[in-house]
Amino acid sequence: MKQTTIAKKVENIGIGLHKGQPIKLTLEPAPANSGINFYRSDINASFKAEPASIGNTQMATVLGDLASGVYISTIEHLMSAISGLGIDNIKISVDANEVPIMDGSAISFCMMLKDAGIKLLDESKKVLIIKRDIVVEDGAKMVALRPSLEPKFHFFIDFKNPVIAQQKYSFIFSKQNYLEEIARARTFGFLEDVKKLNAAGLALGGSLDNAIVIDANRVLNPDGLRFSDEFVRHKILDAIGDLNVFGARVLGNYEAIAGSHELNHKLTLEILKSSQNYEIVSVNAGNEKELEKAFA
């Protein structure tokens, strides 16, 4: 099974969530074994998507250093789409400090990638196989990856707000399942928090066009929800993006209780602490049948 990139360059323009300004997004083919690389054309800065490059996870997954201003924010939805469509190598360029939010889900990025097409490369795909249970906890919150040759995701959330309340969702990865069950799930926030962020000069591009907004006991979006459990599905979308930083698809069973970008990042770092935690394997004729579920 061969590595992939996109077949042609594609471009789009969207609004940045935090600054509210138009951002040009360009996706380009990349050579085998190069992985996922971001480039800021406005400051001529490059960032490789890998655990060591993650500089902040408080409101989004951020590559680079916030303090210096050399960073790219809100990469998780695009990273999720790249993983969902099985693309190994790609160059991503933006002319600002964040990836455009689009509609708040991954589906716009999936459409861009599908428009670009998929190109097979000469090198074998790689998979990161989880060898033993890796668990990261923070009080009642928890994320984990456990050994499994079938990529699974199970997420549980519990919000005091009655619109969300308790939700759980289990998802077995395949490209088709991703597109049908996960890719369209939008990010969400509470109106009172949005107002606070706006006052601090953040989330200026947020609107009902790119997020689910909740006020007390109702969803403010006129068209309502895309799924009754859209909130927990979006958490899985984020997790898929946050785990797409190894240069190889993670093969394991992901579990989360109130997981977050921060815990997902800590999980990736914990995996890399010991070679006994994982094994990176090239997919070839000898093991392709055993590992094929990772790329279905």
Residues of the chain with pLDDT under 50: none
Domain boundaries, the chain: 2-124, 127-293
> How would you classify residue 267: left for phi > 0, otherwise alpha for psi between -120 and 50, otherwise beta?
alpha
The residue from 18, 154, 261, 265 that is catalytic is 261
pLDDT at 48: 97
pLDDT at 59: 84
pLDDT tens digits, one per residue of 243-283: 999 999 999 999 999 999 999 999 999 999 999 999 999 98
pLDDT tens digits, one per residue of 74-91: 999 999 999 999 999 999
pLDDT at 12: 97
Q: Does residue 261 carry a catalytic annotation? A: yes
In this structure, what are the phi and psi dihedrals at residue 119, rounded to the nearest 5 degrees?
-120, 130
- Out of 3.40.50.300, 3.20.190.10, 3.40.50.720, 3.30.1700.10, the CATH code matching 127-293 is 3.30.1700.10
pLDDT at 201: 73
CATH for 2-124 is: 3.30.230.20
Q: Which residues are annotated as a binding site for Zn(2+)?
A: 77, 234, 238
pLDDT at 234: 98
Q: Which residues are annotated as a binding site?
A: 77, 234, 238
